[in-house]
Structures are given as C-alpha cells and as structure tokens.
Chain A
C-alpha cells in the first residue's frame, strides 16, 4: 500500500520519453519504414523552405561581401549608422508603448468581464476580437481618416475648441494603430488566466482579512500574471516585426521598413538588409525567451472540480455607469477602423470633412471587376498554404506524440521556430536563396507564385501545428489501442480512428492558417514579382499608396475583413460542434 503514490499510467507515459532497449524486437520499438520516410520528407521540406533561407540571411550578414570570409564589419556598420540605431530605438519604443497602451485597453475589459456580473461581457468578448480580423495596415488608413491631422476628430476639435491632437503624428500613429489592433491578444490571455483562478484562492484571502485593491494586488494579479505576460510578449513581437503599418503611415525609420527598403531600393546584394534581419530575429527570440522564462514553473491554472473563475460581483450603480462608460469608449475605438473602412469604401470624396461628401458603389464594381484577380489569387494561395500546413501539422503531431522515432522533437522545434522569424526576414531569405535557382525556361524560382505559397505555409505552420497537437492530445491513446486490439494496423487506425477524431481540430487549424495567410503582407511584399501574381493584401497595399486608390482599396479591405470574419466564424462553429458530438467520449 505504500506504493500508492505511483500510478499505473506513469510507466505508459514514460515509455514515450525513454527509448526502449530490447534488441530482439527493436523493429517495433523505433518506427515503421513508412514513419521514417514521412519524417525525412518533412525534414527535407523544412530544411529547404525554412532553415535554408534563414541560414542564408545569417550567412550574408556575417560574411564579407564577395569573399565569403567571416566578419562582424556589417554589424559595425549597422551600429555606426545613425539611421539604423534610431530605427532600432524607434522599433523598440513603438513596441513597448504599444504593449503599454494595449494593456490600458485590455486590463479594464478583462477585469470587468471576469470579475463582475456584467451584461456587456458577451459583447466585449466578441467585439474584442474584431480588430484581429483586419490586417493592421488596413486599419491604419481608416484611422487616418478619423484621427489624422485633418481627420474627423481633429476637424471637429478645431471647429469647436480651436486645437488639434496629434494622434497619428509619426511614431504616435504607429503606436495608436498597433495597440488598437493587437490589444485582443492581451485581452484573450488575461481573461483566460482570470477565469482559471479558483474562486477559493480569492475567498481564502478574504477569509484571512484581505480585500479590495490589496486583494487584487497580492492574489488576483500575481495569479493572472503569466497570462498577461504571454499576451504582452506576443504583442511586442508582432509590433516589432510589422512592416506594412509603418510603411502605410509613412514612417520609415523603424527596423522592418528599413530592411524592406534596403533590399528593394539598393538590391539583394547589400548586406545591411541582412544585418537588420538578424537584429529582428534576435529581438523576437529574446522577447519570446523572456516570456517563456518568466512563465516557467508558473502554470497557475488553479481551477479544480469544475466551476471556478473569480467570484462575480454585482456592480453598484456608480460602478455600472463607470464600467459601461469604459466599455463603450473602448469599443468605439475598436470599431473605428471598421466603420472608417466601410465609409471609405462607399465614399465619392472624403477629404477635409468629418464625413464623406457622397456615396457610391463604384469602388466595389472596380474591385470585383478588374481587381478580382487579387481575390482569386488570395483564395488559391491561402487554400494551398492552409492545406500544406494541416498535412504537415497532422504528420508532425502524430510522429511526435505517437511514435518513438529518434529525433522527432526536432521536427516540432524546427516547425515552431518559424514563429520567431519575421515575415520580412523570411521574404529576404527566399529572395536570396531562390533567385539563383532557375527553372528550365530561365525564370528564377523566387519569381514564381509558388514561392509565395511556400512562404505563407511556413509562416502559418506553427499555428496549424498547435491546433493539430491539441486535437491529437484530446484523442486518448486507449482509443487507438482498442482499434489495434481489434485487428486494425497502425495505418488503418490512423485512417479510421485518429483522423476522424481530429477532424474538428484539423479543420480549425486549416481555417486559422487560411484566414491569417489571406491577409499576410510582410513576406509577400518581398516576394510578389508581378501584379498578376499578387494576393489581396498586396493589392490593398498598392491601392492605399495613392489618394485615388483609397476608395477601391477600402472596398478590397472590406472584402478581406468579411472573408476573415467568415472563416473565424466557421472555425468557431466547427470547434463547438465537434466538441459537442464527442460529448464525454474520453
């Protein structure tokens, strides 16, 4: 009875971690030839389209132009150039300030919706996601119209009070747009963390005499901190890597735009673009590492026996007024880009006036007429990228979780490493690696639209992989063992049991990959060689460059938003339905 602490399930789990050592039956303990072939194929794909391009970027950054000898002189040049150092500082400043302002938006919403019996909670949680279904650079244009120097708000302020506020001046504009766009990452993570706090944690503190703000500071906030940090680091990295938003707001002295401008204006032979790329990679690796280190050993999910979440309190009248005030204000801000885009897409002329002068459907006619190519390309690219991602995702998840193949974790690490590679860096790496590779007819590989698909697939692979992992983890191993016990081989078991049970998760992974790939710009901006190959996001970017193109651009933006919104809705519905049909199946 003294052995009660050990559980029968323990050896089973350890079996996957420790390579078994039984020589006579080693065949069945490592992997089948099919599994090995699959792993090698995935490894080859990742090497060619992720490792090689990134390695190329690193190689160019650390070698002397022409000779190929190792040198740090490129980095010395980077440090010596005032423009680059200012760009580095600006990128850092904008990212940090965006995190700060995103926190200001997310904290009250998260706290209100989890802490109080609050009618608006569902609305907040739904509308809170709205910014994410629009590429940030699209929002930037709409925000200019409302908050710019001659936007609606400033025109009204000038009329009534005789002054203007520089919401959108220089770096402020980037910070403003980014924090409105990315705050949902913090909201989602923080709300989840708050909901996972066991009510008893709070009650125990109250029972010992702690209440009010002290309770929040000493118990609630520390318990929710890991969730907050996870969201905050994500926002930091996203803002640091974003290329299109600063470009559209005409802010050029930030790192990602500098890398892009260097390569497009001076050429792919110039080492400075690569040096900046290395700096971008290092910054996002550090930010991710810091948040992982801060989270280590702090998995505070404390809910037990169902229920959970903070005790919901009724609001007093004053609190309710204050609460709704805050929520309405923030939601207005969140909706502003969408509203602006919609108005702009129907506007004849909208300049120096709070609202457009007149309305017309002409922009949509143009978008669905001559520009429908963008939409078609986007659908093709995003579908292919999503398809590649879920095939790779299911295969990697199965190899890692269900086989004892030596080195299988490397596939996972390699695929996930794509998270730390900014799109602009991947784009530069593709250009440099594949421009020299030519097809029989002489066109370089980098000029083909297939390259865009591959880049999108690599960029979105980590998300699809997580979805596939989660789906496979929910399939109890005993469900597969039962099938094998009844005579199904490994391959048959995968087909008849594993894949059908993962279907919901796989589909959700596809939709996530699809919808984010559909509005991706930073890698494609580097890789689009001709207008006929351009996807929607690229077309949007081109339209938004000129005042005359803003109308059709906005119409295209509305199409993009609707496309992504539809996908998000579908994936949500799929996940819910698959969870319902499976019931208490495991």
Chain B
C-alpha cells in the first residue's frame, strides 16, 4: 500500500516535472510586449501606434524603412521609377502567401491602395497623387501618378500601406469587417486571439517568406493604458518589452539605473513628434499676432526641457524637430522675456484690469502626454498670469474629450501634439493647408490657419523631386510659420522603449514600435 503511494508520488512528480519543463520550453519562445489599447488590428483604418503595432506584425507592406530612412525590399523585391518620376513599378515576391494560403497578387496591392486612400486619416495625402494602380501580371504593380510624389516610397511601408487580401476585405463595408480584429495578412505573425481591451495573441506564421523569421513562436501584445502598472510590470519582469512607452521623463533615469532593463531612444526619429500650443484663430484675441508673439516670449523652453522632461527632449521653435531630415535653423526666434511680452501686450492695447488681468482664455490638454502636454499646460497657467492672461485650465477626463473640443473648435488655446513622420507630406501638411479645415476631424487644421503662400509652398514641395530644392521650400515654409505663429512650439517628444536585457533583436527602424518584431527573441 505504502509502496503504491510512493510510486504514484514519483509518477506524479515526473508528470509535474515534465509539464513544468514543457511550460518552460514554451515560455522561452513567447514574448509579452506591452502596447496601448487598440480596437482593431487592421492599420489601414487608423493611424498611430495603437493599430500600427499589431498591424505591422500581421500585414506585410511593399517596403520597410531601415534605421536610416532608406526603403528596403519586403513584399516588393525591387522597384523601378520612371525618369519623370510618374511611374513606380513594384515587383512582388514570388511565393508570398497570405495567412489563409492564397498568394499575394498585384490585385491585392491595388485594392489596398484604394482602401487606405479612402479610410486612413493620411490616405489622401499619401496616396492622393496615385492616379491608378495597373496590374499587368500577378506579380507586377505599377503605380501611375498624377504628379511627382517624392514621399511615394515612404508611403508604401507596412505602417502606411498594409497589403490586405482582397478576397477577405472586399466584402461589404470595411469598417464592420470581422477581419479588422482577426486580421489576415502576409506578415510574420498571425492573429490567434483578440481579447477586446486586454490583449492580442500573435503566433508565428510558419509560411512566412523570409527564411529564419520570425524568431519567436508567440507574441502576446498586452494592452496597458495605466503607465504606472505598465512600468511596474517591466520592473518585475512580467512584461518583456514595451517598445514605445508614454512614461514620464522622470522615470527615464530610474529605469536606466535598473540593471535588468535596456532603455533605448534610438528608434523614433521617423516619428518626428512635436508638442505645441495651438490657438483657435477664429476667435479674438487669439487671431491677433501680437498676442501670440507675447505668449511665445512668455514660455521658458529651457525650463520645460530641463525641469519637466529630465533633459531627454529638445527645445523646439519650429514645426519640425531639429533632427528631422527637413528641419531648418533659419527661424524667427522668440526668447524667454516676460518684460518684452508685457510690453507687446501693453502696446497692443490689452489693458490690465484692477487684478492685473488683460483677458481670460481657456486651455485644454489631453491626458496621453503627462510630462509633455499636461504638465506644460499646468505650467502655462501661472506663467501666463505673469503677463496678465488668466488661464482657465479645463480638465478632460480622457484624451477623447480634448480631441472633441479641438476638432469642433470649442476652445481658445490647447496643448497639442503631432507626428510629422519621415516625410512632411504625410504628417506635417495636414496642420497648415487652408482646405484641411474639417470640422470634427482631429489632427486636421483645427486652429483655422490659412496663408496662401504656405499653401503654395507645400503644394510645390509635395511635387518637387529635387531633394535640395525640396528642402529649401520646406525651409521657407518653416520660417513663415514662425512669423505667423499659428502654433507656438514648445518641445519635441522623445518616446523611449524599455525591454528586458535578455531580449535581443529589437526592431531597428525609425518608426518605433510600428515595425515587424521578426527578429525579437528571448536569449
């Protein structure tokens, strides 16, 4: 009897041990990656990191940008550009298949162009110049342009133009297609499970066309909206990596000191994130350039960068971050000078009342950037009081409320942020074009800025194929913006990623987390 028990015990122990080993073995190939909540995987329908992170794992694009902004072959093995820059011919990879086994054809490319142009927030800017996509054979997609489009190759990365299987997505209204969550693409990972509001489980695509990739069997994309708990999960090892955090800059130094963690900032140059103070130019007194100039003089950018953002970010005076390929130094400068600010307002006739108040203004800020936008908005209240502007700092319970107020022009002043992306056509133009005032659409020209000269410059720059001339056009544009001051730029935002030191093969790219994690694995 006793021997039996012992034997059972041994057998039980063995089974347990085997199970543990199996679990460990499986654990080895699974990565837990933190990201922000997304309602969809299909990144043809939305911009930003939320759909961009899973989308770039599940879909493949024609090209990928490397860490020097240079397009590298992906679904397209090569491409030719005609001498006049009006025809781009992409040669698709032989044998590339979608997750359901159907081959990737030029028909799918043409369909994806139409879908993205109609549904993605930048669709018109990126693919508007494409007149049509010709499909002479299954493996050749010929983009015929209406005008030269220097941002063409940047616009066909997985992030901006995921190649969708036509037979899955050309099936009634795309917004309600179930494959927006259980997405089917040709990328390195398949969607195994989509838990709304919690996580996405991705499994290795065994038929992926790049040999040896992906290196991990499973990636769990876990949603974190509370950055405190996200940070703790990294510190206690529950999460392997968060490739783009929105932690405060105060955490930067502390995380760096943690011997188990790898903190990196080198993969975000292509995002070109800038923070700025935006005005509702439809309203007095914000339509008065002198008022905006005075406010520009009242902001101490050095203080913001050093005291609020731990010296991680950069002071910003124009629309593009200093390290952006199109940035210029030739801008109008507004030094921190409260006396000058008060003098300008005195001269402009904004007399202070008995309490020293010249006028009142509301100020909104979203919640997604606590150190960049929220804290700077809080800072502006006492700061602008010094030049006689009484700020009513309106609290938004979430970023959606802030976006709603701005896009419906229900605000005076607001802290805001935009991703410029590697090419200004994609991310920058939208804030400045007169015609891009679309009520209800966030990150359009919400302030109501309109300058024909700027429209002309941007129009020209979007067609100019000579890089040097193009850079010059954008330099002129940047200078005019600092003269007109529709936005007062404060600082750049530099997201940073955090991973356990045991994780190797982090995506090397300029688009942060929105690139394939095919080389990532745990060592």
> Do A and B interact with each other, yes or no?
no
Which B residues have a C-beta under 8 Å from some C-beta of A? Answer: none
